[in-house]
Amino acid sequence: MAFTQRDLQSFAGAVVDDLLPTPLRLLVVGINPSLWTAATGAHFARPGNRYYPALARAGIISHPFDASEGYRPQDLAELHRLGIGNTNLVARATARADELSRDELRAGADRLRALVAQLRPPVVAVLGITAYRQAFGQPRAQLGEQPEGLAGARLFVLPNPSGLNAHESVDSLAEAYARAASAAGIPTALT
């Protein structure tokens, strides 16, 4: 699929449905959907996003999914079989996460607490330390497992897979994501 900037801009403010398999073992929380994700309906769909390559490198999924045109049925089935779900702190799609307000992030934290309390996944992984700090009012939080958990779930704050996050590589993302998957009982090649 090829989108023009005009095409993508038409998805600004759109909401992408959560991916919530049953049973839900690992809930992965993005900051908010990209315009590309909104256009395709697939989480982390923007070309260059390293989420699926990192999951594959960690051995969590069988191969690096190409979600840039939406989920292929077999890839979506694999996520369901593994119990890996996706949601976002803020539901509305934007071109960049820095377009979100602190109030939106804080409201997203409240929504996430309620969702986790309702669905009871054993592990939640928030992808993005800066957004986590703002949303949860934890300015000194560090990457890794958070001692306070979230609504009864183990809580990990992990690096954002966006290509804009130059501090991380697919290998370092894979190592971080493998720790959360392992805590959720999902086999990996790295733990």
Give pLDDT tens digits for 2-53.
Answer: 789 999 999 999 999 999 999 999 999 999 999 999 999 999 999 989 999 9
Residues 6+ apart with CB under 8 A from 68: 1, 36, 40, 42, 45, 46, 47
Looking at residue 2, its pLDDT comes to 77
Other beta carbons within 10 angstroms of residue 189's beta carbon come to: 11
Please state the separation of Cα 36 from the chain's center in Å: 14
| Tokens representing residue 142 in the block | 């560090």
Beta bridge partners of residue 124, listed in sequence order: 27, 155
Sheet with 26-30, edge to edge strand ranges: 84-88, 26-30, 123-127, 153-158, 144-150
pLDDT in tens, 151-187: 999 999 999 998 777 789 999 999 999 999 999 999 9
Can you tell me the distance from the alpha carbon of 81 to that of 75, in angstroms, rounded to the nearest whole number?
A: 10
Structure-derived torsion over alpha carbons of residues 101, 69, 54, 123, reported in degrees to the nearest 10: 60
Contact 58, 30 (CB under 8 A): no
- Which amino acid belongs to residue 6? R
The domains located in the chain, with CATH, are 15-183 (3.40.470.10)
151 Cα distance to chain centroid: 18
Angle in degrees, CA 36, 128, 52, rounded to 5: 50
Quickly state the pLDDT bin for 190 (edges 50, 70, 90): confident
For 130-154, b/e burial (b = at least 16 CB within 10 A) is: ebbbbbbeeeebeeebbeeebbebb
pTM, rounded to two decimals = 0.96
- Residue 75 — pLDDT band, cuts 50, 70, 90? very high
Mode of pairing for the β-strands spanning 153-158 and 123-127: parallel
